[in-house]
Amino acid sequence: MTLYLNIGVQHRLTNMGVFVKLFICMYLFGVVHSEKQVSWLACKFIDEHVFVNAESHRETEFHPRDAMLQFGQAGDTPVNPHTITFMITASKVDLRSYMVGGSPDDLECEIRRYSMKGIQLRWPSQGAREYDLWFTCTIKHPEDSFVFTGYLRHTPSQPPSGLEDYDSVPPIGDREIIAASASMVLHARSVAMKVGLRSEQKLHCQFAVDHRGPNFKVTWRAQIKGDWVELYSHDSHSGVTRGSGVSRKGLLTAGDATLSIPFVKISSEGKYVCAVSVLQLDASLDVALHVSESPSVSLNVGPELVLEAGAEQKVVCEAEGYYPLDVEMEWYQEPPGEPAGYRVGAPLPIKLHNVLHSSHRHNREGTFALSAFFYYRAALQDNGRRFTCRVMHGSLRNPIRKSFTLLVHEPTSWMFYLAVGSVLVIFLIMIFQMLRCLHTAHQESRKSKPY
C-alpha cells in the first residue's frame, strides 16, 4: 500500500494519537513516500559466501536476505529494526529522483556486494577511504519502464587490519545498519522495446556521479544474431570517439549516452549494452530491441460472393508484411441472416477445419507472408452465410477480421436455355427475311422503266 502525506493536513493533526496511528500504518504497509520522493523500499540483499571446494577451487554461494533501503541520515532509526538496513545518506546522486513512473511498492529492489578486485583506490569524494566497501543497488520497474543501478559507498568505522584477501567479505549481521551514499548511477528508461520497421528510435542511457569532471568511458555494443558489434565509444581522458549515434554535447554536459537508431531494420533487432566506466566502477545495462510489424490482411473476393448452387470457389485470406514469424490465421462461418459482428445471445461462429495454409514466404525486407485458403462448393442453404478470416499477431492488440457474405442462386435449367435459344433463332430468321425483302425491293427499284 502506498501512503501519501498531504502537508496541509499534517499541520492540522494536533492529536498525538493520530501521529501514532500514522506511524503504525507506515510500518505495516511498506513503502512510505511523499508525492515526489520515496522514503524506503523493501529489498533483497544477495549476500555472498566464498569458499574453497574439494578440488581447491574457489566457489561463491549466493544467499538472498531481507533488507531495507532507507533514505535518511546516519543515526536515524531504521524503519524495520529486524532486517538489514542500508541507510542512504544525502549526496549529489539522488537515487529517488529516478523512481518515476510507477507505484514504489511495486518496484523490484536488489542489493549486491561490489568487489574492487584488490584495487586500492580512493574515490574522489569527501570522506572516501581506500578501504571503503561497495555495493550495487538495482531498482527495476515491473513493466520495464525503467531500471537503474546505483553504486553505494560505505566507509567502515575502522580500517581493516593487515592485508586481506579481496575475496573475503566482512559478514553483515541480520540487524546491521550500513550507512552508505550513492556515488554513481546508471539509468535507462526502458529495457525492452518493441519498435516498427523504418522508424527512428532512441535507446536511453544516462549516468551521474557525485563529483565534477570525472574521467569516464562510454561504450555501446550490440549482439545481433549472436555476433557482438561495437557501435560507439568515447573516452573522456583521451578525447577519442569511435562510431556515432550519441550526442557529444549531451554526453559531456549531462552524462546522456542515449543511442540513436535513425532507421530500424530487421537487422537492428538484438541486445544492446550501454557500459560506463568511472575509475574503478564498471556499470552496464542491457536494452532489448524487438522489431514488431503488423500484417496487412486481404481477401481474394469482394464483400459479397455470388455463386450458382453447385459451383466451386477457392477463397484465400492473405496476411502480408508481418514480423516476427508467429501468426495465427483462422476461418470462421456464421449462420445465414446473422448481422455482422458479435452480439449477446447470438450463435458463436464455427471454426472451419478444411482450411489449408501456405508456407511462410520471405519478403525482401525480412518480413513474412502467409495464406489461409479453402475450397467451397456452393449450396442453397448457405445463402446469406458470412465467412470471416481472423488474423492474430504479437504486434496487434486485437485480431484483424476480413469478411464476405455468400449469395447463392439456383442453377438455370436446360428448358430455360432451350427457350432462350429458340427465341434467338426465330429472331435471327425474322431479321434475315427482313433483310432479304429489303434487298429485293432495292433491286426492283433499279430496273429501267418502259417510258
Are residues 136 and 38 part of one domain?
yes
Are residues 43 and 180 part of one domain?
yes
What CATH number did the domain enclosing 314 receive? 2.60.40.10
Average pLDDT, the chain: 85
Are residues 150 and 35 part of one domain?
yes
CA distance 404 to 260: 45
Which is it for strands 84-89 and 147-154: parallel, antiparallel or unpaired?
Answer: unpaired
Domain containing residue 391: 296-409
| Sign, Cα dihedral of 419, 424, 429, 431 | positive
Are residues 249 and 195 part of one domain?
yes
Structure confidence by residue, pLDDT tens digits, 274-283: 999 999 899 9
User: How many helices (DSSP H) and strands (DSSP E) are in the chain?
Assistant: 4, 26
240 versus 412: the higher-pLDDT residue is 240
296 Cβ contact list (under 8 Å, min separation 6):
319, 320, 321
- Range 150-154 average pLDDT: 96
Q: What are the grid coordinates assigned to 33, written together? A: 513516500
Are residues 210 and 98 part of one domain?
no
Are residues 55 and 179 part of one domain?
yes
Predicted pLDDT at 207: 98
| Boundary-marking domain end, from 269, 291, 313 | 291
Structure confidence by residue, pLDDT tens digits, 117-135: 777 789 999 889 988 999 9
- Range 218-235 average pLDDT: 94
Residue 21 belongs to a domain: no
Please state, as a whole number, how many other Cβ atoms lie within 10 Å of the Cβ of residue 4.
Answer: 9
Portion of the chain with pLDDT greater than 70, in percent: 83
Structure confidence by residue, pLDDT tens digits, 155-166: 998 887 654 555
Locate cell 518480413: which residue? 367
- Range 327-348 average pLDDT: 76
408 Cβ contact list (under 8 Å, min separation 6):
307, 308, 309, 378, 379, 380, 382, 383
Predicted pLDDT at 337: 65
Are residues 134 and 85 part of one domain?
yes
Q: What are the grid coordinates assigned to 375, written together? A: 475450397
Which is it for strands 368-377 and 312-322: parallel, antiparallel or unpaired?
Answer: antiparallel
- Range 209-232 average pLDDT: 93
**Cα torsion for 353, 355, 361, 366, to the nearest 10°?**
-50
Residue 351 belongs to a domain: yes
CA distance 95 to 371: 52
Structure confidence by residue, pLDDT tens digits, 434-450: 887 877 777 777 665 55
365 versus 36: the higher-pLDDT residue is 365
Residue 355 belongs to a domain: yes
Residue 13 belongs to a domain: no
Are residues 359 and 312 part of one domain?
yes
Are residues 280 and 226 part of one domain?
yes
Are residues 242 and 219 part of one domain?
yes
Q: pLDDT-based confidence at 24, cuts 50/70/90?
A: very low
Are residues 177 and 44 part of one domain?
yes
Residue 422 belongs to a domain: no
Tally the domains of the chain. Answer: 3
Residue 18 belongs to a domain: no
Structure confidence by residue, pLDDT tens digits, 370-423: 999 999 999 999 999 999 999 999 999 999 999 999 999 988 655 656 666 778
User: Do the Cβ atoms of 183 and 281 come closer than 8 Å?
Assistant: yes
Residue 238 belongs to a domain: yes
Predicted pLDDT at 339: 59
What CATH number did the domain enclosing 68 receive? 2.60.40
Q: Which helix (H) or strand (E) holds 126?
A: none
Lowest mean pLDDT among 194-198, 243-247, 317-321, 425-429: 425-429
Residue 434 belongs to a domain: no
Q: What are the grid coordinates assigned to 205, written together? A: 542511457
According to DSSP, the residues that pair with 246 across neighbouring strands are: 259
Are residues 236 and 98 part of one domain?
no
